[in-house]
């Protein structure tokens, strides 16, 4: 491997965690907003319809790697309940904003992250590559937690149109950081999206197990394989001191 010049990071469960109740709160806010917008729905019925709609769109992602968006899930769920509101309708847009407001309020940096990024920024180019369907919320979270300033590039799947593990997003990360594959490592928690995705693109992956090792609620994510085991030959870190030791 050539001299390490850049380090890429996943976002959720890698740099930040989400409180366990955030997903339930998000769905409650979404449903309350739809009711306030004049769409009468029952919570249990909508939650099931939303789950089925999301599952259908996620199957498409598996086949193509193309990103989806929550507005399509909500629109389809409403359609299945007899309500006609397209994804770009004001009612659905308001519901999307309400949904993601829960995550914005309940995200936290993993301890030591600010100090780590400041330290690494003196010697390496830093990039973030995150699977997130609604980019405005992702960028608001990143800004609110005070970490955007440390990154030379921040790539979000909802803006790119494709999501990890698709090779296009890793190619964009390399181009934005202006490095070769053997000059970059990529750190993430998801065995498929992060580890397999990096490997397929010729990038050295590093698995972070901080969330698992500390019994922290796993941030909900579509198509995530969570705590699944990976090849024992993959480099693994449990905290930021492990990472500093690895790159030195």
What is residue 58's predicted lDDT score, i.e. its pLDDT?
A: 85
pLDDT confidence of 191, banded at 50, 70, 90?
very high
Contact call for residues 119 and 140 (beta carbons, < 8 A)? no
Q: Where are the domains of the chain?
A: 6-19+109-247, 22-104
Question: CA 47, CA 44: separation in Å to the nearest integer?
Answer: 5
Contact call for residues 90 and 117 (beta carbons, < 8 A)? no
CATH assignment, 6-19+109-247: 3.40.50.1000
Q: Is the pLDDT of residue 227 over 80?
A: no
What is residue 44's predicted lDDT score, i.e. its pLDDT?
A: 93
Q: Average of pLDDT values for 92-104?
A: 95
Contact call for residues 147 and 113 (beta carbons, < 8 A)? yes
What is residue 107's predicted lDDT score, i.e. its pLDDT?
A: 95
- Could you report the per-residue pLDDT of 100-109, keeping only the tens digit for each? 999 988 999 9
What is residue 1's predicted lDDT score, i.e. its pLDDT?
A: 53
| CA R_g for the chain | 19
Tokens of 2: 């050539």
- Could you report the per-residue pLDDT of 2-28, keeping only the tens digit for each? 799 999 999 999 999 999 999 899 999
Please state the pTM of the whole predicted model.
0.93
Q: How far apart are the first and last CA of the chain?
A: 14
Q: Is the pLDDT of residue 223 over 50?
A: no
What is residue 2's predicted lDDT score, i.e. its pLDDT?
A: 73
Q: Average of pLDDT values for 60-64?
A: 89
Question: CA 1, CA 73: separation in Å to the nearest integer?
Answer: 43
User: Hey, is 176 helix, strand or coil?
Assistant: helix
Percent of the chain with pLDDT over 70: 95
Q: Average of pLDDT values for 123-137?
A: 97
Smallest CA-to-CA distance from 130 within 122, 138, 118 is with 138
What is residue 220's predicted lDDT score, i.e. its pLDDT?
A: 64
Q: Average of pLDDT values for 26-41?
A: 96
Q: Average of pLDDT values for 47-59?
A: 92
User: Angle 194-236-243 (CA atoms, 0-180°, nearest 5)?
Assistant: 100
Question: CA 71, CA 91: separation in Å to the nearest integer?
Answer: 10
Question: CA 243, CA 124: separation in Å to the nearest integer?
Answer: 13
Q: Which of the two residues, 104 and 185, has the higher pLDDT score?
A: 185
- Could you report the per-residue pLDDT of 136-172, keeping only the tens digit for each? 999 999 999 999 999 999 999 999 999 999 999 999 9
């Amino acid at each position: 491997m050539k001299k390490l010049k850049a380090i890429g990071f996943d976002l959720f469960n890698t740099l930040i965690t989400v409180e366990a109740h955030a997903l339930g709160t998000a769905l409650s806010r979404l449903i309350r907003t739809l009711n306030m917008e004049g769409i009468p729905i029952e919570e249990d019925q909508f939650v099931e319809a939303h789950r089925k709609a999301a599952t259908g769109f996620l199957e498409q992602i598996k086949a193509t790697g193309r990103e989806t968006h929550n507005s399509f899930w909500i629109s389809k769920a409403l359609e299945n309940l007899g309500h006609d509101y397209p994804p770009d309708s004001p009612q659905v847009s308001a519901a999307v904003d309400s949904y993601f407001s829960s995550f914005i309020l309940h995200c936290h940096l993993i301890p030591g992250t600010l100090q780590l990024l400041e330290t690494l920024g003196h010697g390496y180019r830093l990039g973030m590559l995150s699977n997130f369907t609604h980019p405005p919320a992702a960028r608001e979270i990143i800004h609110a937690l005070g970490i955007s300033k440390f990154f030379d590039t921040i790539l979000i799947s909802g803006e790119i149109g494709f999501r990890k593990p698709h090779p296009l997003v890793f190619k964009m990360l390399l181009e934005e950081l202006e490095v070769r594959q053997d000059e970059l490592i990529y750190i993430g928690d998801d065995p498929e999206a992060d580890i397999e995705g990096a490997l397929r693109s010729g990038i050295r992956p590093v698995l972070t197990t901080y969330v698992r090792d500390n019994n922290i609620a796993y941030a909900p994510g579509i198509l995530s394989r969570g705590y699944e085991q990976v090849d024992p030959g993959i480099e693994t870190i449990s905290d930021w001191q492990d990472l500093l030791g690895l790159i030195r």
